[in-house]
Structure 1
Amino acid sequence: MPAHRSVVRRHHSRPLAALGLVLAGLWPLADALAWSLSIAAAPRRVFLHVGNGVADGNSATVNLVQVTVPGAQVGNGVAQAMTTNSTQSQSLYGDNYTTCPTPASQIMVGASYRRSNAANGPASATLRVTSPADLVNASGDTIPFSQIGWTVSAAGSSVPGVIPAGSFNGATQTLTSIPANTYIENCHTFSYANSAVRAAGTYTGQVTYTLTSP
């Protein structure tokens, strides 16, 4: 059974969102927690937000996740925690619940899929993330995107792995499926594996999250 909060039933509609990653030089596993909430049936639609979002519309914001690795620590194999410019701590689900209490180190990811109980549409929607093969600096040096991973958490929840922890693979990867009339959300905390010496510079790349229901 999904975990429940006392919430106002509202629907938000946005088909996709993006997360930008900018790295100067950046893994771990924490407790996997998330919220999975039942929502009322409605005509088929999807909603997705990554980082700063809006409740009833589209947002052009692409949040930044970054880290600067001190010269003495470059490539020493010690994972480096990343920070964000996100300010989204409260859920967009409708109750203003504080799911991500420290947005400066977390990116909130929330998604829902609704359909009419009488509809013959798909039983679930699919949440995916696409990343390029590498982050690149101004000189053309690269860092594999697989060096960036994330852990997950959600204040007050005990539902594990609704959106799981992982790492980028330089391609499109499926994160999870969302059953009909369900909203899920949790907080992603990113880190850089720092497993090899890299040339100095600011490395950039962008990943895109998509939620689809064919």
Structure 2
Amino acid sequence: MNHFPRPHTPRRLAAACLALLCGAHMAAAQAWSLTLAAASRRVFLHVGNGTYDNNNGTINLVQVTVPTAQLGNGTALAMTSNSTQATSLYGDNYATCPTPASQVMVGASYRRSNAFNGPASATLSVTSPASLTTTGGDTIPISQVSWTVSAPGSNAPNVIPAGTFNGGTQTLATVPANRYIENCHTFSYANSAVRAAGTYNGRVTYTLSSP
């Protein structure tokens, strides 16, 4: 596990969104888990493009276009991303996501000054809609979208796991006090059935909270 301090942004509840657009195989899981100096109670979260010193309203997009010849053939298709965030936001500029065109960086941290200054951890979760939808009302179950995780050069525990959206709120990770966790998410579309032609949209929201 690798430990070194990096800077921070104050909040006790943070949320970030990711848009999904559709027109898995589980990889080896890695993450960075970094020790931070104790400080006043705060949480920090970023998904895709972000900044560590103020709020950022950017909503990044992941998308896939299904070729006609592959419609519903059950072969999962990789989704691309419009994120450009390749390097970590935490001071050392480490290339956590070397290919952001196919990855989305997710990072979260929780700080407190001592054991009496708030809970021992914060909770990272993601909330997704039941379906991706078109303007005409056609739907694709959100469970058709999954993600794998990676963090080049790290052998730290799988602190933000791979998974599949379930149309509800899923707890992804527990962030201990004075710790920052970070890795890359690579999304894919299961392509398990033929769908009506159209552009299917949805939005998922990641939340980091400390009561």
Shorter-chain TM-score tier: over 0.9
Gaps of 5+ in 2: none
**Aligned counterparts, 1:8-87, within 5 A:** 9-13=6-10, 15-24=14-23, 27-87=24-84
Residue 155 of structure 1 is matched in structure 2 by: 152
Residue 203 of structure 1 is matched in structure 2 by: 200
> C-alpha displacement at 1:120, in angstroms?
4.1
CA distance in 2: counterparts of 1:160 and 1:76, whole angstroms: 35
- Structure 1 counterpart of 2:111, from 100, 111, 114: 114
SS in structure 1 of the partner of residue 2 of structure 2 = coil
Which whole-Å deviations, capped at 9, do the CAs of 1:128-148 have from their partners, x for residues lacking one?
A: 000000000121110000110
> C-alpha displacement at 1:12, in angstroms?
2.3
CA distance in 1: counterparts of 2:67 and 2:115, whole angstroms: 57
Normalised TM-score (structure 1): 0.95
CA distance in 2: counterparts of 1:118 and 1:76, whole angstroms: 54
- Give 1:153's aligned amino acid: S
Is the 8 Å Cα contact of residues 83 and 106 (structure 1) preserved in structure 2?
yes
CA distance in 2: counterparts of 1:176 and 1:170, whole angstroms: 18
SS in structure 2 of the partner of residue 189 of structure 1 = strand
SS in structure 2 of the partner of residue 104 of structure 1 = helix
- Give 1:171's aligned amino acid: G
**Number of corresponding residues:** 209
- Give 1:194's aligned amino acid: N
Is the 8 Å Cα contact of residues 13 and 48 (structure 1) preserved in structure 2?
no
CA distance in 2: counterparts of 1:135 and 1:194, whole angstroms: 13
> C-alpha displacement at 1:72, in angstroms?
1.2
SS in structure 2 of the partner of residue 143 of structure 1 = strand
> C-alpha displacement at 1:13, in angstroms?
3.3
- Give 1:16's aligned amino acid: A
Gaps of 5+ in 1: none
> C-alpha displacement at 1:119, in angstroms?
2.3
> C-alpha displacement at 1:118, in angstroms?
4.4
Residue 144 of structure 1 is matched in structure 2 by: 141
CA distance in 1: counterparts of 2:81 and 2:51, whole angstroms: 18
Identical amino acids, percent of aligned pairs: 71
CA distance in 2: counterparts of 1:122 and 1:206, whole angstroms: 30
Is the 8 Å Cα contact of residues 84 and 107 (structure 1) preserved in structure 2?
yes
Q: Root-mean-square deviation (CA), in Å?
A: 1.1
